[in-house]
Amino acid sequence: MKKQSFLALIVVLSILTPALGQQPTPSIQQTGTTEPEDVVRITANLVQVDAVVTKNGKQVTDLHPEDFEIYEDGRPQKITNFSYVSIAPTTGAEAGSAAAAPAKDKYAPPAPPVHLRPEQVRRTIALVVDDLGLSFESTHFVRRSLRKFVDEQMQPGDLVAIVRTGSGVGALQQFTSDKQLLYAAIDRLQWNVQGRAGTSAFAPLEDDILFDYKNRAQVSGGSFVAPPVNHYTRDMTETNMREAEQSFRDEIFSLGTLGALNFIVRGLRELPGRKSVVLVSDSLELFSPDGKSNYRTLESIRRLTDLANRASVVIYTIDARGLPGLNFSSADTIPEMTVDDNGRVLANGVTNGRLLNVLQAQRDQRFIDSQSGLNYLAQQTGGFFVRGNNDIGQGIRRVLDDQKGYYLIGYRPDDSTFDPVTGRRQFHHITVKAKGPGLNVRTRTGFYGITNEQARPARRTRDEQLLAAITSPFASGDVNLRLTSLFGNDPRAGSFMRSLIHVDGHSLTFREGQDGWHQAILDVVAMTFGDEGLVIDERSRTETVRVRGDEYRDALQNGLTFGLNVPIRKPGAYQLRIAVRDAASERVGSANQFIEVPNLGKNRLTLSGMYVASREFRTGGHDAGSAASSATLQKTSAEEGQISGYDAQAGPAVRRFRPGATIDYGFEIYNARLDGATRRPQLQMQMRLFRDNKQVYAGEMTPLEPGAVQSESKRLAAIGHLQLGTNMAPGEYVLQAIVFDTLAKEKYRVATQWIDFEVR
């Protein structure tokens, strides 16, 4: 096979969206450990909330319905539904932890990343870094604490995302159990110079901001008496203007933070069970400098808490500043002036203790105000606020300890709760109490009088439906999709991302026409995002599929597959998002996948993506073997997007094989070192197979001999075959290729690539 005709392909872990069947509504007699699909339920027949009970800081898990009281707007309610749900992480063996071969040294090849099945997900955690509100100083400690969390605290069964509030739909902002992907997201955390925080966790006093006489008088309890006009009062006026401008700027960035949280919570709504969001920030203020509540920020928080409560999301907040020193230091500039108890300027050139007390009180109050939004947001959703702790990692540990389990408590609401006559959306307060000494209950504080069905936005138009699917951080399954995005490089055209999109034929609506023809119309939108959330590529089209006879039956059985090519101009992290809409039924499906495009200019050993297909794979109804299978993926731009119905189950887009099948695999090797004397590479290759994240097969380490055409090339094509056993157990497998370059430096000697497939 020619070197240039072999396409480099890659598959990496994408956002996992668990899909669980509908669970029966728990009754008052039920207790168990199965996590239901809907935790918080607000319907005309049931209001159900989750609650955590602690005593001396430890969870209490053995209570019964008679141990609780629940109130709506102060009125006691009869508990009709009750259960306890345990979500504590299981052991590594039960949760599918990676069991790689023992590493001989730190440069040994790693095992493929853990791929969780939906039933293995125990905790779903979004770690939200508010880079719109983090200082330069805090950013360093947050980055270090998150890395410690991934190293030491992340458990098998955890599905985690690290999200930045200031970067939009970034390629690295997705839920995964792949620690390497999380490390990449952590490494890209940077101080946002345009955010609302400065370089320090708490800014020092400066000479030109100390003359806010109005606020100083309010703090001291006196009434304002205007001092004589002089340079101090002129500075005061300028300071007030600057503070007003800063207050408005902080408000805008606070709304940006809340908007990012809103986006995350809406995506989490599609996942089953109880979800957690941990917001790490320096501040989130509810009050303006004059002491008045910030209406826009407060209203945004109220809407966010109602959305979080309906989505079964608990929000925890952490003050990244820890315990800052609020006393005066050498960084502060203290003015030389004297004031009386009423805030009058009595003299210049002398600093008295009364002024220092006023300034200290101002500083303390500003610090308290900066925490108001973080505290309120956590309390309203059943979480807690971590403050005064210099160890952010310990705060995250407290959050994880709180994820061991929770009670579900439900009651039948009165007809007046939803007010069907006037349709008023009144806010109803919920209070849950636990009987017994020393028992503390944390739960959601209430809800608006509207059912969950009514609260979901109605997306009526085609564009609204596609936009909602493509911008969601999670995949949806109304139209079943399978996305395979793959990296490759051409010496002339450069790097590219090739994607295969497979659509389940049973998810589509084929309408019967004349002469036995069946027609389905698909709306397709594809967007590629960089790690900063910017759109790199965007494509949209409508496809009409007309089939009949065997082609129609084949389309239903094997689905439809089409390709998409995206050139990549520079290395980095990318994410492809696909949304497909069935025009007849208006059902929409979406999928997304992360891909890392390496920098080949560093001249380090690199593997392309991996191609896998069985010899059962057919194109045009003929047995094509590996060569024809490869050619199928090499569509030109003119052919791109062409949809054809064929037996795709054993092809590279779906990869479902029968026991005993022969699998063809292949990939390209870039930047192989050449021997100075022979001008030939010296490479060795090993193949490993994993099932349920445990190694089940390891091939021999064999030399990779280049062909005559590739003998003096730093680019080589590697192809091979793998015979599956006839008694191979059904399930998901991962095939890993490991290449060793004996001529490279030890640190860059190993490169690895992997791809998943299914045996059924």
pLDDT of residue 218: 38
pLDDT band at 328 (very low <50, low <70, confident <90, very high): low
Interatomic CA distance for residues 594 and 275, integer angstroms: 22
pLDDT of residue 103: 43
Question: Residue 450 has which token pair?
Answer: 């509207």
CATH number of 475-759: 2.60.40.3880
pLDDT of residue 463: 84
pLDDT tens track for 138-186: 888 899 999 999 988 888 888 888 888 876 555 456 778 888 788 888 8
Work out the angle at residue 249's Cα, subtended by the Cα atoms of residues 246 and 251, and round it to the nearest 5 degrees.
110
pLDDT tens track for 20-37: 223 333 334 444 444 445
- Name the average pLDDT for the chain: 74
Is residue 645 a contact partner of residue 551, using CB atoms and an 8 Å limit? yes
pLDDT of residue 229: 39
pLDDT band at 245 (very low <50, low <70, confident <90, very high): very low
pLDDT of residue 285: 75
pLDDT band at 441 (very low <50, low <70, confident <90, very high): very high
Is residue 57 a contact partner of residue 50, using CB atoms and an 8 Å limit? no
Percent share of the chain, pLDDT over 90? 22
Contacts of 230 (CB under 8 A, 6+ apart): none
Is residue 735 a contact partner of residue 138, using CB atoms and an 8 Å limit? no
Higher-pLDDT residue of 11 and 285 is 285
Predicted model pTM: 0.66
In the chain, list all ranges with CATH 2.60.40.3880: 475-759
Higher-pLDDT residue of 521 and 618 is 521
Is residue 565 a contact partner of residue 639, using CB atoms and an 8 Å limit? no
Per-residue pLDDT, averaged over 294-302, amounts to 74
Query: C-alpha dihedral over 528, 534, 536, 541, to 10 degrees?
Result: 60
pLDDT band at 619 (very low <50, low <70, confident <90, very high): very low
pLDDT tens track for 453-486: 666 666 678 888 888 787 765 566 788 888 888 8
Q: Residue 203 has what DSSP assignment?
A: P
Collapsed DSSP state (helix, strand, coil) of residue 397: helix
Interatomic CA distance for residues 624 and 29, integer angstroms: 60
Greatest mean pLDDT among 342-351, 414-423, 443-452, 720-729 lies in 720-729
In the predicted structure, residue 620 carries a pLDDT above the cut 50: no
Percent share of the chain, pLDDT over 70? 68
pLDDT of residue 514: 87
pLDDT band at 672 (very low <50, low <70, confident <90, very high): very high
pLDDT of residue 387: 87
pLDDT band at 301 (very low <50, low <70, confident <90, very high): confident
Cα R_g (the chain), whole angstroms: 30
Higher-pLDDT residue of 125 and 24 is 125
pLDDT of residue 434: 94
Closest by Cα among 609, 578, 744 to 673? 744
pLDDT of residue 445: 83
Higher-pLDDT residue of 134 and 214 is 134
pLDDT of residue 234: 41
Question: Residue 351 has which token pair?
Answer: 């600093």
pLDDT of residue 459: 61
Higher-pLDDT residue of 24 and 427 is 427
Q: Number of H helices and number of E strands within the chain?
A: 13, 39
- 198-212, 553-567, 607-621: the lowest-pLDDT one: 198-212
- 302-316, 662-676, 695-709: the lowest-pLDDT one: 695-709
Higher-pLDDT residue of 397 and 594 is 397
pLDDT band at 437 (very low <50, low <70, confident <90, very high): very high
Distances (CA, A) of 578 to 167, 268, 557: 20, 18, 22
Contacts of 260 (CB under 8 A, 6+ apart): 128, 132, 163, 164, 165, 166
pLDDT band at 54 (very low <50, low <70, confident <90, very high): very high
Interatomic CA distance for residues 330 and 309, integer angstroms: 46
Per-residue pLDDT, averaged over 377-396, amounts to 87
In the predicted structure, residue 102 carries a pLDDT above the cut 50: no
Is residue 603 a contact partner of residue 495, using CB atoms and an 8 Å limit? no
Interatomic CA distance for residues 69 and 77, integer angstroms: 8
